[in-house]
Homo-oligomer: A and B are copies of this chain.
Amino acid sequence: MVNSENTKAQMRKGVLELCILSILSQGDAYPTEIIEKLKETKLVVVEGTLYPLLTRLKNTGLLNYRWEESNSGPPRKYYMLTEIGETYLKELHLSWYELVDAVNKTITKK
């Protein structure tokens, strides 16, 4: 009935894009690596979420990728920020801080 997990998942939505672009701004990475990094900070994302999202970001020109051989499995698709992506990320940073501010104002009011 009351499903807290569901809402937590909802809260994660929307900030995923921000987090993924942030991770890529720290250096190129392939999907599995991105998932690992997100997990480190308790933001669990699964493949079925990440792959379509990366494709979307690539199609809108925010990301690019290159194939790179691996010596322990199939080749990896390394994603990187484009120049547009860099600019966009700065905007998202702002939006994020604005959101945090707005929510905190709302939930701390007494």
A interface residues, Cβ below 8 angstroms from B: 1-4, 7-15, 17-19, 22-23, 26, 37-38, 41-43, 60-62, 84, 88, 91-93, 95-96, 98-100, 102-103, 105-107, 109-110
> Cβ of A91: which chain B residues have Cβ within 8 Å of it?
4
Minimum Cβ distance to chain B for residue A95 (Å): 5
User: Per DSSP, are chain A's interface residues mostly helix, strand or loop, or mixed?
Assistant: helix
Of the candidates B1, B22, B26, which one forms a contact with A61 in the assembled complex, judged by CB atoms under 8 Å apart?
B1
Q: Are B19 and A10 in contact (CB under 8 A)?
A: no
> Cβ of A100: which chain B residues have Cβ within 8 Å of it?
100
Q: Are A107 and B43 in contact (CB under 8 A)?
A: no
Q: Are B110 and A26 in contact (CB under 8 A)?
A: yes
Q: Are A7 and B60 in contact (CB under 8 A)?
A: no
CA distance A13 to B8 in the complex (A): 11
23 A-B pairs (CB sep. < 8 Å): A1-B60, A1-B61, A2-B60, A2-B62, A2-B84, A3-B60, A4-B88, A4-B92, A7-B14, A8-B95, A13-B13, A15-B99, A19-B103, A19-B107, A22-B107, A26-B109, A26-B110, A37-B106, A38-B106, A41-B102, A41-B106, A43-B103, A43-B106
